Amino acid sequence: MDGFERRRQEKKEAILSTALDLFKQYGFNKVSIADIASKASVSQVSIYNFFKSKENLKNELLNKLWENYYQSMISIMQSSETIQKKIERFFYTSADYSKNYTTDFLAESIRNKIVNEEISSEIQLNSIEDAISSLLEQGQREGVIKSTFSIKAMLSFIEMFRYNIINNREVAINYDRNPELLKEMIALYLNALFT
């Protein structure tokens, strides 16, 4: 990548980062392209050149956040850490990811993206679930995860955490403000799963 292309990419990343900060703080509808341009120290024309519209900017931001989340989850599942550490990191990564969705527009957008719009996102979500299932099955075989519960029940139990934190703005904000509470909640989930 030459210097021009690198600077162009840095500008685009600055716009995405600024947009995320502003959307989280004020909500999607209250933020204008002019607000983003001013805070990112770029021209409005630059934003339109990169994204064509505020809606396209939001969609690219969501795609980037989702792809980062997916890659993080797959990386956790493929790591050489213990089963308990992988599941613990899964919970923390889900909580961290939800911080990006503490505004109504982001939570609603990601639900629509996963449920209605993007086949690839659905495939990726299924891939994460398959990896967790395999991890739970391995844990049961090794005797570190309780075998008294079905994999389906444990997946539902884990999904309750993820769903609650992504879809309940107050929960996500509360965990962000009180990391000890998040730590306790994750410990409760781990205690329920592990022998």
Q: Are residues 92 and 9 in the same domain?
A: no
> What is residue 140's predicted lDDT score, i.e. its pLDDT?
96
> What is residue 106's predicted lDDT score, i.e. its pLDDT?
55
pLDDT, tens digit (0-9, with 9 covering 90-100), for 23-59: 878 878 899 999 999 999 999 999 999 999 998 998 8
85 or 126: which carries more pLDDT confidence?
A: 85
With tokens 């994999």, the residue in question is 151
Q: Are residues 86 and 148 in the same domain?
A: yes
> What is residue 177's predicted lDDT score, i.e. its pLDDT?
86
Q: Are residues 16 and 108 in the same domain?
A: no
Domains held by the chain: number: 2
Question: 52, 73, 88: which is the final residue of a domain?
Answer: 52
Q: Are residues 72 and 157 in the same domain?
A: yes
Q: Are residues 66 and 45 in the same domain?
A: no
> What is residue 111's predicted lDDT score, i.e. its pLDDT?
55
Domain residues for the domain of 147 are: 54-193
137 or 108: which carries more pLDDT confidence?
A: 137
Q: Are residues 18 and 63 in the same domain?
A: no
Domain CATH number, residue 111: 1.10.357.10
> What is residue 114's predicted lDDT score, i.e. its pLDDT?
53
Q: Are residues 36 and 78 in the same domain?
A: no
Is the model's pLDDT at 118 over the cut of 80? Answer: no
Is the model's pLDDT at 132 over the cut of 60? Answer: yes
> What is residue 119's predicted lDDT score, i.e. its pLDDT?
58
Q: Are residues 134 and 108 in the same domain?
A: yes
> What is residue 195's predicted lDDT score, i.e. its pLDDT?
92
Question: pLDDT grade, residue 166 (50/70/90)?
Answer: confident
Domain CATH number, residue 28: 1.10.10.60
Is the model's pLDDT at 120 over the cut of 70? Answer: no
> What is residue 101's predicted lDDT score, i.e. its pLDDT?
58
What pTM does this model have? 0.78
> What is residue 54's predicted lDDT score, i.e. its pLDDT?
93
Q: Are residues 41 and 71 in the same domain?
A: no
> What is residue 68's predicted lDDT score, i.e. its pLDDT?
85
> What is residue 142's predicted lDDT score, i.e. its pLDDT?
95
Q: Are residues 62 and 38 in the same domain?
A: no
Mean of pLDDT values over 90-113: 67
> What is residue 193's predicted lDDT score, i.e. its pLDDT?
95
